[in-house]
Amino acid sequence: MSSTLLDRISAALATVNDPEIKRPITELGMVDTVTVDDAGVVHAKVLLTVAGCPLKDTINRDVTAALDKVEGVTGVDLELGVMTAEQRGAMRDSLSGGAAQREIPFAKPGSLTKVFAIASGKGGVGKSTVTVNLAVAMAAEGLKVGLVDADVYGHSVPAMLGVADSRPTQVDDLIMPVPTASGVSVISIGMLKPRRDQVVAWRGPMLDRALVQMLADVYWGDLDVLLLDLPPGTGDIAISLGQHLPNAEILVVTTPQEAAAEVAERAGTMAEMMHQRVVGVVENMSYLVCPHCGPEHKIEVFGSGGGARVADTLSKRFGTQVPLLGQIPLEPSLREGGDAGKPVVESDPTAAAAAELIGVAQRLSGRSRGLAGMQLGLTPTSKF
């Protein structure tokens, strides 16, 4: 057996990432033993972080595929074992870099992760739909994206990303975010409940603990962007967020309706009280393209002007330009994508709603260029 063959095998194993931790299995101490017999068959033992790891099939497949490609390898005999408590502890320490526990990495000075919290005045305006699609659009741009579903009342994000039944893997006290098919890592307040059907009836301190747990006890790795789906309104979670992540920038979602715009402004006021910046406004359900006449005829189901009004009011209040970043039409594909766990920005990126959401995602991720000279006004549409 030549040492170069073993070198090639090691190099191949180093290309396999743990699907949850998103780091090479070789770095995580997951490769236990590797030998090659005279016939060129690799006998490898890879250790899972926990017994019953939900992603063991993915690890099995990825390791086998990587080894199969190595020149000189004629077969793969892969055994999956489980780390001992000691091995897990060593991995946990290396992941946290020896840092004290319960430290929120995104709040540390010098953190390179952009944090956007998506807020709305009232429920049902499409805040979760917008959040999920922005996350997936940013991941499609090649960014490392994490998503915290902090919507206590409606934690619908996992279902919208197709991971409704997934529970996070826990390595001792470290929680792994759930990876999704779209490349977004997600953790939801719903995943912290002992049972899925349990109602979250938590008050301030419990909610605060849950938020800190999702930020500090979850191994997020190096993220480019962290999105938080907040509960509607200006409640306990918004206050906790302001205390723990004052550097989070707030994106306000509203519908065009006058009443909705009025309450959405309060979400912006809350941000001001917590000394957070409002990065922009997204108007959802702006119009419906008439199914008979086509794109020229836009039906304003919920009226018009709400997004521009919120942007304008917040601009005046903050003394800086708070732009209207996008106007998302009402489209069945957006709802269907959410119901099916396949966000529309991925399944049908050319649909008008998807294109608008992709535009918002691009402006948020590369804002310096995107926001300059943005219009605050509405595009003219005809009345119903």
Ligand X SMILES: Nc1ncnc2c1ncn2[C@@H]1O[C@H](COP(=O)(O)OP(=O)(O)OP(=O)(O)O)[C@@H](O)[C@H]1O
The whole-angstrom separation of Cα 103 and Cα 90 is 19
* Single-letter code of the amino acid located at 308: A
Mark 232-251 with x for binding to ligand X (rule: CB under 6 A) and - for no binding.
x-------------------
Beta bridge partners of 79: 45
The whole-angstrom separation of Cα 357 and Cα 118 is 14
Q: Is 338 annotated among the ligand-binding residues?
A: no
Tokens at 199, concatenated: 């109602």
The one among 120, 234, 240, 313 contacting ligand X by CB under 6 A: 120
The whole-angstrom separation of Cα 91 and Cα 49 is 9
| Residue closer to ligand X (CB basis): 12 or 119 | 119
Query: What's the min distance (Å) between Cβ of 277 and ligand X?
Result: 22
Report if residue 359 touches ligand X, rule: CB under 6 A. no
Number of chain positions touching ligand X (CB under 6 A): 21
The one among 193, 244, 335, 367 contacting ligand X by CB under 6 A: 335
Name the residue among 281, 284, 285 with its Cα closest to residue 315. 281
Mark 282-301 with x for binding to ligand X (rule: CB under 6 A) and - for no binding.
--xx----------------
Stretch of 10-18, 117-125, 194-202, 208-216 contacting ligand X, by CB under 6 A: 117-125
Report if residue 133 touches ligand X, rule: CB under 6 A. no
Q: Is 370 annotated among the ligand-binding residues?
A: no
Largest CA distance in the chain: 78
| Residue closer to ligand X (CB basis): 19 or 306 | 306
Report if residue 256 touches ligand X, rule: CB under 6 A. no
Following DSSP, what letter does each residue of 52-97 receive, concatenated? T-TTHHHHHHHHHHHHHTSTT--EEEEEEEE--HHHHHHHHHHHHT
| Residue closer to ligand X (CB basis): 67 or 328 | 328
244, with CB counted inside 10 A (0-12, 13-18, 19+), is middle
First to last CA, the chain: 77
The one among 223, 330, 351, 352 contacting ligand X by CB under 6 A: 330
Report if residue 40 touches ligand X, rule: CB under 6 A. no
Contact footprint for ligand X (CB under 6 A) = 120, 123-129, 151, 154, 156, 232, 284-285, 328, 330-331, 334-335, 338, 353
Annotated binding site for ATP: 121-128
